[in-house]
Amino acid sequence: MPNLVHSKPCVFYYHHLRNSKISSSLSATAASQAQQLTVEDPAVDAAAPQAVEQRYPGLNSWKTVKKEEWEGEMQVQGAIPTWLNGTYLRNGPGYFKAGDHEFPHLFDGYSTLVRLNFENGKLTAGHAQLQSDAYKAAKSSGKMNFREFAVVPKHANFFQRIGELAGMAMGTTLTDNANTGVIRLGDGRVVCLTETVKGSIQIDPRNLKTIGRFIYEDNLGGLIHAAHPYVDEKEFITLLPDLLNPGYTAVSMVAGSNKRKIIGRVNCNGPAPGWVHSFAVTENYIVIPEMPLRYSVRNLLKAEPAEYFKLEWLPESGAWMHIMDRKTGKVVTCVEVPNFVTFHFINAYEEITGADELLHGKPCIRIIVDCCEHEANPVILKRMTLEELRSYPGKVLLDARVGRFTITLHDGSTKGSLEAAVPPVEHGAGLDMNTINPRYVSRKYRYIYACGAHRPCNFPNSLTKIDLEEKTAKNWYHPGGIPTEPFFVPRPGAVAEDDGVVISLVSDDNGGGFIIVLNGSDFTELARADLPYGLPYGLHGCWVPGQVPQI
Ligand SMILES: CC(=O)/C=C/C=C(C)/C=C/C1=C(C)CCCC1(C)C
Ligand SMILES: CC(/C=C/C=O)=C\C=C\C=O
Ligand SMILES: [Fe+2]
């Protein structure tokens, strides 16, 4: 461990501390804050801790970025491993207004891109705004012009509203604000994405400049897709939900091409497709989730925001998992599973259940699918309005866990199971923004890196390394800070799954912010560098190895 002098951070095991849920560990201030808490859903919140930590107005996580563009060399404390050569790119909402109009929800914010360039122990950083049509129009007109996640542009009169509805059917009024993630395609092109198909925008990873819209040169159409495609060196796979004839089409785009091709289609069991922010892929199968938080055409057409925005919660409609063969597009099974709510699938893989379990001449295969599961409570989506996120003392963070689905193929099962893969107390019962070692995607794996909770809090505020084998977690916490997606980069030549580093950006309650590099194995801090100011929260990133190629 290098000689780092920091007053606040710490690494710990919650179960050694007998967990942050133990209320006797609350300070007097925290205990008095408990009285002011608003409990939205007593059935769920009853189990949650009784106060949230002090949130200082200095925290920039939920505020519009201080400057639209910045870059500079970082003063590093500690030591960045010299093998770490490449660029971490991160996307996320970071500009929460159009003219005087403040956006209501975290997911509405215009995309702010961040780049961290690591070269032989040195670090340069920068951020810039993605020049989407939605952002440019807001800047030039001083108002919002496109439908974002939670907010709809205001119309002066009836005719404008009719025009807007017609435009929505064609997709022209949906946002292209690609604020959710950034991916590196197998051919090296870097693309920012959101859930609207038109919100696929290519950028130059060297300088974060916007190159232009990524055009899908096929006739598959589709207005929306998953925010998180599956991407490897060979292909890009995504799901296109069909709202008119409820189902999903799985498509694949070969690296180097702009043409998506249909793999297969599956009909939904419920009245509309379940929201598909992400999905999972094993070596041979695509796991298509159908959760009871469903897209709603009715809410889509509304001018005013609905309870769950463009989605609706239909718990009676049930939850399902469809398993599609990656090669043939055939749906090999569809099982009913307990109701669930997730943004992010973590990983999925196949296991042969035993040589003696041959059924109809086929081995019995078990599919294991892990996600950050919010205890089947969609309220988490409402907790991400900016008002809630900025509020003090606010509402307690709802519980989340590593939800593990087990789905058996070829044995006639009609149901799949869902349970916690590790005791949630290990990561403070908060969980999201997961990454894993990219070499273990679609394979049996052991470690998850994610944001967890050091309670009391109203949003995930720690970093956690979960060991699925030992069913334990190591946690990193900086009081008053909000860390973002812990991004794992494996060491070249590594054998152990956790041999690598974890990169995260933290915004601090004093208005500052810093970059941290943790050891992927013992989760201690290797290096840190102060940013000139704390950045907005941000969402997902990708790694561009080595020197960024010329485009
Ligand atoms: C930031 C994030 O994680 C998710 C963003 C999701 C967005 C912008 C979704 C937008 C949508 C519309 C504008 C209309 C159609 C429905 C839906 C895909 C939810
Ligand atoms: C920030 C988030 C989802 C982001 C989608 O891309 C979920 C956070 C959940 C908190 O518990
Ligand atoms: Fe996401």
DSSP assignment string, 118-147: EETTEEEEEEEE---HHHHHHHHHSS--SB
Give me 260's structure tokens: 């998506």
Collapsed DSSP state (helix, strand, coil) of residue 251: strand
Q: Is the CB of 242 under 6 A from ligand 2?
A: no
Pocket test for ligand 2, best of 279, 344, 461 (most atoms within 8 A of CB): 344
pLDDT band at 7 (very low <50, low <70, confident <90, very high): very low
Q: Which ligand is nearest to the CA of 378?
A: 2
| Residue with CA at minimum distance from ligand 1 atom 18 | 195
pLDDT of residue 154: 79
Q: ipTM above 0.95?
A: yes
pLDDT tens digits for range 324-379: 999 999 999 999 999 999 999 999 999 987 655 666 667 789 999 999 999 999 99
pLDDT for res 49 = 43
3-class SS at 367?
A: strand
Taking only the tens place, the pLDDT of each residue in 183-225 is: 999 999 999 999 999 999 999 999 999 999 999 999 998 999 9
Distance separating alpha carbons of residues 487 and 541, to the nearest angstrom: 7
Q: What is the pLDDT of residue 3?
A: 36
Q: Averaged over 107-111, what is the pLDDT?
A: 98
CB 506 within 8 A of CB 485: no
Q: Identify the band that residue 168 occupies on the pLDDT scale cut at 50, 70 and 90.
A: low
How many whole angstroms from 195 Cα to the centroid of ligand 3?
10
Between residues 551 and 95, the one the model is more confident about? 95
Give me the mean pLDDT over the 393-398 stretch.
86
Residue 61: name the closest of 308, 388, 294 by CA: 388
Coil, helix or strand at residue 170: helix
Average pLDDT over residues 37-59: 52
Which whole number is the average pLDDT over 43-64?
A: 65
Report pLDDT for 91. 98
Please say whether the beta carbons of 170 and 198 come within 8 A: no
- The angle at the Cα of 305, spanning 304 to 310, to the nearest 5 degrees, equals 125
Ligand nearest to the CA of 93: 1
CA separation for the pair 343, 226 (Å, rounded):
10
- If you ran DSSP here, which 8-state letter would residue 438 be given? G
Q: Give the helix/strand (H/E) hosting 160.
A: helix 158-170
Confidence of residue 302 (pLDDT cuts 50, 70, 90): confident
pLDDT digits (tens, 9 = 90+) for 476-501: 999 999 999 999 999 999 999 999 99
C-beta 430 within 6 A of ligand 2: yes
Tell me the ligand closest to 308's alpha carbon. 1
Best residue among 108, 177, 539, 542 to mutate for probing ligand 2, ranked by most atoms within 8 Å of CB: 539
**Top mutation candidate among 144, 147, 177, 195 for ligand 1, by most atoms within 8 Å of CB:** 195
Q: Is the pLDDT of residue 12 over 90?
A: no
In this prediction, residues 378-386 reach a mean pLDDT of 97
434-452 CB burial, b ≥16 within 10 A, e <16: bbbbeebbbeebebbbbbb
List the beta strands (DSSP E) in 338-427. Answer: 342-352, 358-359, 362-363, 365-373, 401-409, 417-420
pLDDT tens-digit series, residues 503-512: 999 999 999 9
Q: Which DSSP helix (H) or strand (E) runs through 292?
A: none
* pLDDT at res. 19: 37
What is the pLDDT averaged over residues 100-107? Answer: 96
Kindly calculate the radius of gyration of the chain based on its CA atoms and give it in whole angstroms. 22
* Residues 6 or more apart in contact with residue 145 via CB below 8 angstroms: 98, 134, 137, 138, 153
Distance between CA 427 and CA 467 in Å, rounded? 11
Average pLDDT, the chain: 89
